[in-house]
Structure 1
Amino acid sequence: MSTTKKYSDLYSENFKDYFGNHKEVLTEIELNTDEYSINVDKIIEKLGISVEETFFDSHSGKYDADNHTMYINILESEQRQRFTKSHELGHFIFKHEGISEREQAPVANAKERAANQFAAELLMPPKLIVKAIEKMSADFSMTWEELDTLSDEIIISYLAEKLKVSRSAMKFRLMNLGVLSS
């Protein structure tokens, strides 16, 4: 039995297509059996993008396309920084030009929404969520049906911790996947 799975096995063909000629990075990185979160730093490194840790008052991060550099606000939580890195990676993948800044408040800009959606799909692919639910079932000694009796908050908190994302990011992802209602 294999103890690893390639990142490329976790994503849909449509998502992998976003990577264009960079798809191979998803086949070069493996997820161990006991891992439940995507190593976004490894993806960024393999794509040759520099990461600078810095401080921002009103932004979580920004991506400078001309210099292939992302700037991340180190004052924010690890989960927020992971999402921001994934978001900025989305700007790289979608070839957004110039400097894109990830604001802390929700934005209406189409490029920012696309980068947010990319980040959610990168960090929380359905197959990885299912893997975490299987782990939850084992940890709680409950069947999937029995897990349904738990509150949404317990499920969201567990999955968020396993995938190393914020509870709000996990809640929105589960809602977008149709697993939770609003």
Structure 2
Amino acid sequence: MKYSEVFSSDFIEKLNQIKTQESPGVKADNELECEYIDVENIVKMLGFQVERIENLGASGQLDCKVIKLNKDDVPYRQRFSIAHELGHAMQGQSKANRLGGRASDYSIDEQKDEVFANKFAARLLMPLKLVSKNINNIIASNKMDSNKLSRENVDYIMSELSSKLQVSLQSVEFRVRNLNIFVESEEE
């Protein structure tokens, strides 16, 4: 599967606006190297570096073209943090290093920045085309009736999708909900 089959040309163009001059950028006709979005490969193509640091004090930080990660976070968290910090770079920020705290401690502008970075990370790691393809494959391979999915079916699909896309269950549930993929029907 090629990047152009997963992301719109507009999204790829926007990604490439933050690449360094010497980096190749993301090419639409490049093949994905795995069944999920390899965010570390994308940041390398854009000229960013990733550093894993003990006791960082946050899940991730952006420092110019270096994305710093908490070495102790689980791989799913680290992947989301990379994408999140890339979201800050997409906003034109060269530094994003808020240390912990609650969202309510942030200013309105900081909250907006965090929401943007989270939405960007979800869109990067869980693009609609890849989410839909995987959901359809899970339904088909398990011989489920896509018109009559039980709560247990949906829970199973979410768990499988989380594993296939290498993201947390919570992240995939938020993304699928925001995409309105499953619509609960009213019981008679």
In the superposition, the TM-score normalised over structure 1's length comes to 0.81
Which moves more between the two structures, 86-95 or 97-106?
97-106
Alignment correspondent of 2:150: 149
**1:12 aligned residue (1, 8, 15):** 8
Question: What value does the CA root-mean-square deviation take over the aligned residues?
Answer: 2.6
d(CA) in 2 for partners of 1:57, 1:10: 33
Amino acid at match of 1:49: F
Alignment correspondent of 2:30: 29
- 1:80-99 equivalent positions in 2, closer than 5 A: 80-99=77-96
Deviation for aligned residue 1:41 = 0.9
Deviation for aligned residue 1:54 = 0.6
d(CA) in 2 for partners of 1:26, 1:103: 35
Runs of 4+ aligned structure 1 residues displaced above 6 Å come to none
Deviation for aligned residue 1:175 = 1.1
Question: Which secondary structure state, in structure 2, belongs to the residue aligned with residue 144 of structure 1?
Answer: coil
Contact 2:85 2:96 survives alignment (8 Å): no
Gaps of 5+ in 2: none
- 1:25-104 equivalent positions in 2, closer than 5 A: 25-27=26-28, 29-31=30-32, 35-56=34-55, 58-65=57-64, 68-101=65-98, 103=100
What number of residue pairs does the alignment pair up?
173
d(CA) in 2 for partners of 1:102, 1:126: 31
Cα offsets for 1:90-119 (capped at 9, x unmatched) = 122222133334748556522121111100
The structure where strand makes up a greater share of residues is: 1
Taking only the aligned residue pairs, the percentage that are identical comes to: 32
d(CA) in 1 for partners of 2:93, 2:179: 26
Cα offsets for 1:21-44 (capped at 9, x unmatched) = 359504253126xx4310111101
Gaps of 5+ in 1: none
Cα 1:79/1:120, change in 2 over 3 Å = same
Question: Which secondary structure state, in structure 1, belongs to the residue aligned with residue 32 of structure 2?
Answer: strand
Contact 1:61 1:103 survives alignment (8 Å): no
In the superposition, the TM-score normalised over structure 2's length comes to 0.79
Question: Which secondary structure state, in structure 1, belongs to the residue aligned with residue 82 of structure 2?
Answer: helix
**2:177 aligned residue (175, 178, 181):** 175
**1:127 aligned residue (105, 129, 132):** 129
Question: Which secondary structure state, in structure 1, belongs to the residue aligned with residue 92 of structure 2?
Answer: coil
